[in-house]
Chain A
Amino acid sequence: MLNNFVMPDLYPAAPEIFLLLMSFLVLFVDLVFGATHRWMAAMLTVITLIGCAAITLVTSDGQTTLTFSNMFVDDLLSDFLKLMTYLAVIMMLVYSRQYMADRGLDKGEFYVLVLYATLGMMVMISAANLLTVYLGLELMSLSLYGLVAIDRDNTRATEAAMKYFVLGALASGLLLYGMSMIYGATGSLEIGGIAQALYHGQAEKPVLVLGLVFLVAGIGFKLGLVPFHMWIPDVYHGAPTAVTMFIGSAPKLAAFAMALRLLVYGLFGLAVDWQQMLLIMAVLSIGLGNLAAIAQTNIKRMLAYSAISHMGYMVLGLMSGVVGGQIDPFTAINAYSSALYYTVAYVLMSLGAFGMVLLLSRAGYEAENLEDFKGLNKRSPWFAAVMLVIMFSMAGIPFFIGFFAKFAVLLAAIKAGYTTVAVIAVMFSLIGAFYYLRVVKLMYFDTPVDSAPIKAGMDLRFLLSLNGIAVAAFGLFPDAVMMVCTTTLMRSL
């Protein structure tokens, strides 16, 4: 019976295996030294991620390799997204070290759960089968639910975790339901097999479309698109800022990978159908996100609504791949790489913005209200400038990375003939500029409410400065990043 079984090639999955083994080491080290040397778990976690990055770089050969019975794919896209994920997680860990230590939350479990969430994202990014997409998503989500509740005596955090858990379970149910429909219609769980079945026209359209609706709803929930956005403001607000930053950065890359693998790799034959669904969600997200953000006084909530609108802009790129039922590889790759570019740019900006919130917080004090940014220029001109760069970039003001990202997705949308949608998106982006610029106004033209000196470690200051510089510098060389995105997709699709 077992004669025809071939041992899977473990080489493409080396980063995942390394991370899993190291996570056991972190658990063990925390058990032995956790009480006396808390820094050891943190250090090991960062070393693990750097090790993963090294392995991913070394094993990356630009070829598409399938392993584990075609359930795992290692291509240039997965390598690129994984490297970005490691970077985002390392930055998150460095930014949050002091914050978590001040609140007694830098327990070993924090680092272990962060590692497992990262593993879940890697599984999602490399998924070539509906089963692995789902399992990776669950691994990531379950770790995140735990992380949100890590400050267990804080009622707001536990309430946020509960909400996230219930709604997340519902979304997973929708996703599974859609997957089972698609499996029923195509007879395959493999993403490649589904694409094949669609190409040959063997599948029943009504079943497929119903499955697709559920699938898109699940993806919309994970990306935080209207009308599946309800969890975002509460979870962003309730979770400890470091965890909010984690949720707001790396998982977006994984959710993007999931959307790309399911919709573009798997259900490309139904592009005309899912583009319509994404279109509605994108417009609603851009509108609601930007309008609701204006009314917020809490910066974490404001950034939550801003996240909703940014994901809306990203989806503009995803839904512009196929024009009028005609598949043109050049247009498609252009559109998807603009969405990839947007995701990467957004993660960079989001890390910077939450990094600023962490920078201004200290033991027993959360700088989470807009007022806390008042007069930042007087307290620290350099970091006021960093925040200015990030806010300008998020608002889409020229010559920062955010502008070129918005420009790319809007261009893709216009090329696909969605001119009206692009005009609406630009209008809402103008409205959205108000609340970003309000932060700048508070920093430069108001007198400080909180005049305590900024007590952040050198590591946070250094990396946050780099983050700000990166947001500005990539804006000066937008073509370089775009080129990387386009090449990645061209070699992987």
Chain B
Amino acid sequence: MNLLKVFTRVFAFVGKEIVTTVRRPGAIFSLILGPFLIMAIFGYGYNGFRKPLDTLVVVPQSAGLPRDPGFYAGIGGAPVQIVAVVDDADAAKQRLALREVDLVVIAPPDAGAQFQAGQQEVITVAYNEVDPVAQSYVAVLADQFAATVNRELITAAVKSGEQYAIGAGKAVKVIPPEVLAAPTRVETENLAPTTPNVVDFFAPAVLALILQHMAVTLTALSLVRERLGGAMELFRITPTSAGEILAGKYLAFGILNLVVATAVIGLMVTALHVPLLSNVLFVLFIVVLLSFASLGLGLFISALADSERSAVQIALLALLASVFLSGFAIPLRDFDPAVRNLAYALPVTHGLRLLQDAFLRGTWTPVNLLALGLIGFVLLLATNVVLARSMRPV
């Protein structure tokens, strides 16, 4: 009988939370269509490749180098798009300063003279970037550009030397100049079971981020609203315990999260054709664990916050931390170990890894599953303590 009463109270909260959530204007849209639309827009707008950099090549009249843009396009390759070949370096830099172009490559004014004198020729690559990632990218491009030019020069020199030796009637073993200029080459082999495109790769991560964010925002306001609205005083008079309130809220928002996740996963697989290598039930199990931990985070925030505004602010901080630290934007291994450990405290860090592995590799890491369960359990206990304390007489 007592157990029945406990169930009755818990399911009173389940019903109340589900009804009040789905009856809010726009809730269905923002809960189900919203996450999918975000993914679809992301996939439509970003193909994972950088746009080629608009490049001006400056070839001084004295250099004696070709002026055909096609020649330099062949050297620069796909990452650059040669806009024009000009001879005035200052004018080119002026356009770079105005950000009309992305790169200016300046050839040496007397190509070959320095080399003949036993010194390196200098090719200047100018750019106008404040983004450190873009700066690194340009540096890599410049190295690649120099390597290509050097290889071309060596190839030409070898060809010329071999022709000279053959012409002089010497017995030489002819090795193709291209092989002498680049004796080795690299072939890559990807052992991953799928070769996902950028949408495939990011979709499970976006799903993890959305699930955590949805759980946190739905619940972050939940307890603080009850407290500020006076409901907590009413609950205190009824036989309801903190554990029953929490159980009702966990179940209600967990069900909502699971419904949304199921719908979004269905759309991911059918509309975006994201490969799903794991069993769908296992993916839903990950969703349940991620929701459990994320709801714990939201309810813990809600139990601590003293106003709706502070609850929203903390929820937003959790979102920011998740975007930057979880491995969503920047791979986790690139962080300092201390920061990486902090990132492991976020449910989404484990959820993201688990969902990406489940979708794209068909594997899973037990430690991530355990971590999610542990985070959820600790947050549940902590929230229960804080809530029970707040229900005590003052």
Chain A bound to chain B = no
Question: Which residues of A approach B to under 8 Å, CB–CB?
Answer: none
Question: Which residues of B approach A to under 8 Å, CB–CB?
Answer: none
